[in-house]
């Protein structure tokens, strides 16, 4: 799964990487956690990044509680799950990230690892998004979930799952504005090339979402 990630680039870098006309005012973040609002690029407006809440709330949900358990969507089964199948056909998004955290099981417990691209400051994780309307207040909440897939050979020693990371040449296909068949996007939900990734152990301070500073991604001795 992917339960924490990092987006530590300035708006200009984000605009250049994704060919955007506008981005929200968003400071560098080093410990993004579920329920927080973060930049997302949707197929509804692929030239803009907007803030959305992490943790997908299906349109049919009675309240927001379900979002805490829908921060990730398994790419292998998303097409069959009531929470994700409509979004996979109609509402796909890019989730910009500088890296993500995963916890490696060891004899002495779990060690947090920071995984990132070896030669790029930002990349895109594939995601799904939804619009939920509060039946009591009428408030509109836009939410998203990160798609996951089997770990590639590089990641297998750290965790058995990883986020779906898209190649830049696949962004346009993923952000197609029209409704698409599952088969049209299934090939994009594949493990990323392990040779492009790097990883190192980081401080257990990342375990607490309240901690959010550049030193969280620094290697531990």
Q: Is 93 a catalytic residue?
A: no
Residue 218: which residues within 8 A CB-CB, separation 6 or more?
202, 203
Categorise residue 138: left if φ over 0, alpha if ψ from -120 to 50, beta otherwise.
left
The DSSP element (H or E) to which 18 belongs, if any, is: helix 11-18
Options 93, 102, 139, 179, the catalytic residue: 102
- For the chain, count helices (H), then strands (E): 4, 13
Reduced to 3 states (helix: H, G, I; strand: E, B; else coil), residue 144 is strand
Q: Which two tokens stand for residue 177?
A: 């504005």
Residue 219: which residues within 8 A CB-CB, separation 6 or more?
200, 201, 202
Reduced to 3 states (helix: H, G, I; strand: E, B; else coil), residue 170 is helix
Supply the residues annotated as catalytic: 2, 102
């Amino acid at each position: 799964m992917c339960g924490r990630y990092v987006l530590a680039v300035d708006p200009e870098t984000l605009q250049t990487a994704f060919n955007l006309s506008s981005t929200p005012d968003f400071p560098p973040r080093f410990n993004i956690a579920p329920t927080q609002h973060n930049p997302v690029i949707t197929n509804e407006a692929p030239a803009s990044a907007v803030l959305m809440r992490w943790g997908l709330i299906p349109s049919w949900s009675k309240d927001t509680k379900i979002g805490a358990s829908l921060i990730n969507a398994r790419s292998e089964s998303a097409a069959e799950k009531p929470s994700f199948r409509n979004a996979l056909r109609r509402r796909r998004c890019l989730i910009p990230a500088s890296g993500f955290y995963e916890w490696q099981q060891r004899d002495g417990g779990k060690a947090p690892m920071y995984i990132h691209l070896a030669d790029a400051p930002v990349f895109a994780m594939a995601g799904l998004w939804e619009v939920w309307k509060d039946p009591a207040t009428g408030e509109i909440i836009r939410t998203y979930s990160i798609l996951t897939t089997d770990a590639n050979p590089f990641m297998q020693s750290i965790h058995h799952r990883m986020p779906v990371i898209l190649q830049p040449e696949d962004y346009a296909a993923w952000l197609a504005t029209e409704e698409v068949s599952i088969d049209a996007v299934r090939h994009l939900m594949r493990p990323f090339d392990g040779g492009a990734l790097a990883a190192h152990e980081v401080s257990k301070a990342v375990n607490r979402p309240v901690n959010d500073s550049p030193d969280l991604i620094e290697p531990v001795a």
